[in-house]
Homo-oligomer: A and B are copies of this chain.
Amino acid sequence: MQPIVRIAENLGLSDEALELYGKFKAKIDFTKIPERTSPGKVVLVTAISPTSAGEGKSTVTVGLSDALKRMGQSVVVALREPSLGPVMGVKGGATGGGYSQVLPMEEINLHFNGDLHAITTANNALSAFIDNHLHQGNELNIDPRRITWKRVLDMNDRSLRNIIVGLGGPSHGITREDGFDITVASEIMAVLCLAKNLEDLKERLSRIVIGYTYENEPVNVRSLGVEGALTLLLKEAIKPNLVQTIEGTPSIIHGGPFANIAHGCNSIIATKTAMNLADIVITEAGFGADLGAEKFMHIKSRQANIIPSSVVIVATVRALKLQGGKHKNELKDEDVEALLEGTKNLMKHVETIRAFGVEPVVALNKFITDSEQEIHTLLNWCKENNISIALTDVWAKGGAGGEDLAKLVLSELDKPSNFSPLYELADSIEQKVRTIVQKVYGGKEVVFTENALKQIRQIEDYGWDSLPICMAKTQYSLSDQPKLIGRPTDFTITVREIIPKLGAGFLVCLTGDIMTMPGLPKKPAALNMDVDNDGQAIGLF
């Protein structure tokens, strides 16, 4: 690792804009960075419908940026920051893989400059202010049964999903049902990631709806008068973090909202900062193109005028075989037929990106279990179907394994952008959802439950219906049924509930049970974790 001051120097970051956190991490005071007249171009990395293990999207994002740097380009990679809960639970680290990782992995995976802790604190301070308000006389007439604001912890903790608080008698608050989500599911995480600056952050925080009165009128943070305190708690967390890849490419890691009940991209501030520091910015969006990329285009791009000049769709032989009907326990076995069947899923994601006016590049991210035959089959299939594709071997080779992909991306960056969103904000809620279902998922129709329709009418009454849609849907299928693989066509999507997120500025449409607080497995990854007497982490990976 190079000292982070060196990375910053190479980026042209002034001393004034750099706040060191140890020797290998820093925060960037983005207000001290001059705006470029021609900001860097943005490359968005997305994926086909993924397996539960993921397709190495972060790994490709890092490897592609390292490849571009090797080729002499001015490049910064912008990524989401990992949540501690899953790190302790299932999988260890989440900072890319192999030779395409960001460093220092331990710190990034553990407390990383305190951003998630600050969000947890602000979220739970708001909860404490709400319950204190109830306890101290409830001037705002908040209905304890209608409080929608939940507490959060950055932990996988199923026992906190459904709880009762305020037990123990009159000195100990008002008894009511409550629950904890994981921190990355907090609306404050989405708010932080969509805010343009501290002022905008405060404005967004003040708009957050925490529940409703007994008369069913919305109650927001402004009416509680605590938006200043919440902003104060987030004043450092709003600054993006600077680290580096194994190959020394500058990496800005900041924010990590869920890609189902939120929009799944790193912060706007991080992307904008990167665009003011380099010619090319490589960034990613969560899950497949039906979720992360769609939200990037309709929520993040629109709010911040960040237009992707190129889109990379990460595919793997494993995921294609899964989408072609292969059982998830047999993905290591060669199966060209399943692979070819699975290309239907890839084709849909390619068409989706094209529908936004961008010509995508496919990255076939190599796993050691892939057969030569499978790889060649996919490469040929793409050529036959006029789809740009490059094989990436960035896990094993770092940037050197991403140069073919980098060349394709560079040639796309030279072309003029034809980006346009698929729906207008002025469309009705039903119409916006219908557009996503038909044009992005390839489905036939949307069904709104009676409950959802009632909520839509109420949202219209409150005047919130011109917000963009944030679909909460399974990532495993283009439909809302996880097992409906490949490219289903004749399906309907059922919207069961609509949750307005006024601070983030979108309407979450729930299409199934979305888990907002994961649980730990029987043998959590934590059992293998330790630290040696020199303070070095053991068992994080």
- Bound Cα distance from A465 to B527, whole angstroms: 31
Interface string of A149-175 (1 = CB under 8 A from B): 000011111111111111110011110
Instruction: Determine which of B107, B121, B158 lies in contact with A111 in the assembled complex, contact meaning CB atoms within 8 Å.
Output: B121
Q: Does A383 make an interface contact (CB < 8 A)?
A: no
Q: Could you say how many copies of this chain the assembly holds?
A: 2
Name A157's closest neighbour in chain B (CB-CB): B128
Query: What distance in Å separates the Cβ of A434 from its nearest Cβ neighbour in chain B?
Result: 33
Q: Is the interface of A mostly helix, strand, loop or mixed?
A: mixed
Question: Cβ of A84 and Cβ of B121 under 8 Å apart?
Answer: yes
Instruction: Determine which of B153, B232, B527 lies in contact with A124 in the assembled complex, contact meaning CB atoms within 8 Å.
Output: B153
Interface string of A522-541 (1 = CB under 8 A from B): 10101111110111011110
Question: Cβ of B529 and Cβ of A228 under 8 Å apart?
Answer: yes
Q: With A20-B21, A111-B117, A533-B199 known to touch, is A161 a contact of B157 (CB < 8 Å)?
A: no
Question: Cβ of B157 and Cβ of A127 under 8 Å apart?
Answer: yes
Instruction: Determine which of B120, B131, B171, B529 lies in contact with A232 in the assembled complex, contact meaning CB atoms within 8 Å.
Output: B529
Name A540's closest neighbour in chain B (CB-CB): B232
Q: Does A233 make an interface contact (CB < 8 A)?
A: yes
Q: Does A88 make an interface contact (CB < 8 A)?
A: yes
Query: What distance in Å separates the Cβ of A198 from its nearest Cβ neighbour in chain B?
Result: 6
- Bound Cα distance from A533 to B167, whole angstroms: 41
- Give the interface residue-count category, chain A: 35 or more
Query: What distance in Å separates the Cβ of A158 from its nearest Cβ neighbour in chain B?
Result: 5
Q: Does A520 make an interface contact (CB < 8 A)?
A: yes
Query: What distance in Å separates the Cβ of A450 from its nearest Cβ neighbour in chain B?
Result: 24
Question: Cβ of B172 and Cβ of A156 under 8 Å apart?
Answer: no
Name the B residues within 8 Å of A204 (CB-CB). none
- Bound Cα distance from A157 to B159, whole angstroms: 19
Question: Cβ of B136 and Cβ of A159 under 8 Å apart?
Answer: no
Question: Cβ of B162 and Cβ of A226 under 8 Å apart?
Answer: no
Q: Does A416 make an interface contact (CB < 8 A)?
A: no
Name the B residues within 8 Å of A540 (CB-CB). 232
Name A153's closest neighbour in chain B (CB-CB): B124
Name the B residues within 8 Å of A22 (CB-CB). 19-21, 27
Instruction: Determine which of B135, B163, B520, B527 lies in contact with A165 in the assembled complex, contact meaning CB atoms within 8 Å.
Output: B163
- Bound Cα distance from A162 to B169, whole angstroms: 9
Q: With A22-B19, A159-B165 known to touch, is A531 a contact of B232 (CB < 8 Å)?
A: yes
Q: Does A125 make an interface contact (CB < 8 A)?
A: yes
Name the B residues within 8 Å of A167 (CB-CB). 161-164
Instruction: Determine which of B19, B117, B539 lies in contact with A23 in the assembled complex, contact meaning CB atoms within 8 Å.
Output: B19
Please list the 3 inter-chain residue pairs (A to B) with the smallest Cβ-Cβ separation, ordered nearest first: A228-B530, A159-B173, A162-B168
